[in-house]
Amino acid sequence: MAIRAYAALGVQRAQVALTYRLSLATGILTGLVRILVLYYIWRVVYQGESVLQGFTLQEMTTYLFVSFVLRNFYSFQTETSISSKIRDGSVSFELIKPLNYQMARFAESLGSVVVEGVLIGIVVATVGWIAFGMSGPATPVAAAAFVASLVLSLMINFAICFLVGLVSFWSTSVFGIVNSKRLIVEFFSGALVPLAFFPAWLRTIAQWLPFRGIVSTPVIIYLGQVSGERMWAELAVQAAWIVVMWLAGAAVWRLATRRLEVNGG
């Protein structure tokens, strides 16, 4: 019964996403423009160079397109959805529902991903392959590992968004926090620049944060830059961060509900 309820939440959110066709079209257009700008910037950077920090120009082009596809798998507005329900008090109804709050929000997020991420991702990837020579996965094993890493990265991003959303229990607005989080995640995940181009000290910091598991890890697996034991180790690190942050989210939710019950009598 619970599984059906979670599935229904996901379907409902997917239907909502489908109603905003203009938003989908705008997302595709702005995404392509952004990639074009980055592509031509990197072409200038690669003038006279065949390889930079272990990336050929074709690999960098593939990195740009795959990283953008990944970013669109995380476009769901988890933080703002949680925040709005906390501000208007409707979150109190979640306490009487026979569903796990964290799992319910994750199901809703998946509904958005199926529509926004998949549709935008297919269009952008198709343009990348046809017009810019984007490469496919390095090997069949890399392709399978990439899919697994993509699922894990999606869960990492949700766990982060969930924690940020719950900050609304202690703050009247999370707008600034959400925007700061997005900038931090984009930078340290490798969505803007591959981590290989970071200075050594900054790359070390990034290696110890969960954000690289959102973009960098799936893309380097896709490109075949890690394989064998190291590839499995990267997947294990992603899984470990999911466990840590999921448990942290559950703990913060319990703390927040106790606060809600006290304030609400």
Count structural domains, the chain.
Answer: 1
Round to whole Å and give the CA distance between 260 and 98. 18
Mapped onto helix, strand or coil, the DSSP state of residue 97 is coil
pLDDT at position 127, please? 87
State which H helix or E strand residue 251 sits in.
helix 228-263
The reported pTM is 0.89
Mean pLDDT (whole number) for 152-167: 91
C-alpha atoms less than 13 angstroms from C-alpha of 92 in its C-beta half-sphere: 11
Residue-wise pLDDT tens digits, 245-264: 999 999 999 888 876 654 44
Model pLDDT for residues 30-45, shown as the tens digit of each residue: 878 888 898 999 999 9
Sign of torsion over alpha carbons 90, 263, 95, 74: positive
Q: In sequence order, what are the beta bridge partners of 51?
A: 56
Please state, in angstroms and rounded to a whole number, the distance separating the CA atoms of residues 165 and 158: 10
Are 154 and 57 contacting, i.e. CB atoms less than 8 angstroms apart?
A: no
Tens-place pLDDT, residues 79-109: 777 877 777 777 777 777 778 888 988 988 8
Domain that holds residue 198: 2-263
